[in-house]
């Protein structure tokens, strides 16, 4: 059988990359807030720091935070779906498991990452403008997009929310099928724990998924979206970080191997110093 540690190793590669992306986003937001402070125009909507251009065309980084907030959860949901298939095939098809995942594993990584970026790409190609609205004693700037000819019919919010619901529903059905198929079968304790882990990850995904669906279904007025987005976006971000962290927590063998690797690395560095 193909070692399950490869799946965990993939998550450990994915997590630092995701962390670097969010650090970049944090730098962009801090930079925008600093720009607000030093320019101090008539009025800034502080809870929406990217609206600081005074009616000019937005800079290239304006959509960065929103772009990754769409792409990263889709990539995570797609990969979780492949993980569910991996666990079910390990239990139901143990003899074909190794042959299947020799090509399914790289395919799952490519489809998850490249597919999510491709789905969100039309949104990133649109230009963002700031429109000045006279509020009497002050002006307020709101962000708008104008038709660019690049898939103007495409609503990334509706499409991505629908795609996330579909992916999570498929993952849930796979785990339910696994439970039914393995209910009367003796399986390894680790395999059973990983199936339970799959249900736990889905439970963590529900609040973030519900928040995005409510936000993008126009239940709240459009002026409230920036406030909700910048104060509650961590709920959706939690979905990206929870899965690899939980997988690291439940895999005792992988933790032990990681500790051995770290100790060996420290020992080799110490010998080099001498």
Q: What pLDDT does residue 106 have?
A: 76
Percent of the chain with pLDDT over 70: 35
* pLDDT one-digit tens code per residue, 185-235: 666 665 666 667 777 777 777 777 777 777 766 677 766 766 676 666 666
**Lookup: tokens for 97:** 């498991």
Quick one: pLDDT at residue 42? 37
Q: Residue 128: what pLDDT?
A: 62
Average pLDDT, the chain: 65
d(CA 52, CA 264): 50
d(C-alpha 268, C-alpha 106), whole Å: 32
What confidence score (pLDDT) does residue 93 get?
Answer: 76
Domain borders along the chain are 5-264
Contact 185, 91 (CB under 8 A): yes
Structure token digits, residue 211: 């928040």
- Class of residue 189 by CB neighbours under 10 A (exposed 0-12, middle 13-18, buried 19+): exposed
Task: Assess whether pLDDT exceeds 60 at residue 5.
Answer: no
Chain segment 125-141, per-residue pLDDT in tens:
666 666 666 666 666 66
3-class DSSP state of 216: coil
- C-alpha dihedral, 172 to 178 to 180 to 182, nearest 10°: -160
**Interval 72-96 mean pLDDT:** 77
Look up the pTM and report it.
Answer: 0.58
pLDDT at 186: 63
The secondary structure of residue 223, as a DSSP letter, is G
Interval 102-123 mean pLDDT? 76
Statement: residue 41 has pLDDT above 50 = no
Fold exhibited by the domain 5-264: Rhopdopsin 7-helix transmembrane proteins (1.20.1070)
Kindly tell me if the per-residue pLDDT of 97 is higher than 60: yes
Residue pLDDT, tens place only, 138-153: 666 666 666 655 555 5
Whether 117 shows a pLDDT value over 60: the answer reads yes
Instruction: Give the separation between CA 132 and CA 148, rounded to whole angstroms.
Output: 20
* Cα distances (Å, whole numbers) of residue 159 to 114, 155, 238: 17, 6, 21
Instruction: Assess contact for 208 and 165: CB atoms under 8 A.
Output: no
């Amino acid at each position: 059988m193909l070692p399950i540690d490869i799946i965990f190793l993939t998550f450990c590669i994915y997590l630092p990359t995701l962390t670097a992306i969010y650090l970049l986003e944090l730098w962009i937001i801090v930079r925008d807030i600093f720009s607000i402070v030093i320019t101090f125009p008539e009025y800034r909507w502080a809870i929406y720091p990217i609206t600081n251009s005074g009616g000019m065309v937005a800079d290239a980084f304006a959509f960065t935070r929103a772009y990754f907030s769409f792409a990263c959860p889709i990539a995570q949901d797609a990969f979780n779906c492949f993980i569910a298939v991996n666990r079910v095939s390990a239990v139901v098809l143990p003899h074909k498991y190794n042959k299947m995942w020799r090509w399914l594993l790289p395919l799952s990584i490519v489809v998850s990452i490249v597919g999510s970026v491709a789905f969100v790409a039309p949104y990133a190609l649109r230009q963002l403008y700031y429109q000045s609205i006279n509020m009497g004693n002050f002006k307020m700037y709101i962000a708008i997009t104008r038709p660019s000819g690049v898939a103007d019919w495409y609503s990334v919010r509706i499409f991505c929310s629908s795609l996330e619901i579909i992916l999570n529903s498929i993952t849930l059905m796979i785990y339910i099928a696994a439970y039914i198929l393995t209910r009367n079968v003796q399986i390894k304790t680790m395999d059973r724990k990983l199936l339970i882990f799959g249900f736990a990850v889905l439970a963590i995904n529900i609040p973030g998924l519900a928040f995005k669906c409510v936000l993008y279904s126009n239940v709240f007025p459009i002026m409230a979206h920036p406030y909700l987005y910048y104060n509650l976006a961590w709920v959706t971000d939690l979905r990206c970080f929870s899965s690899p962290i939980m997988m690291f927590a439940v895999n005792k063998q992988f933790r032990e191997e990681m500790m051995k690797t770290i100790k060996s690395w420290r020992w080799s560095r110490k010998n080099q110093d001498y």
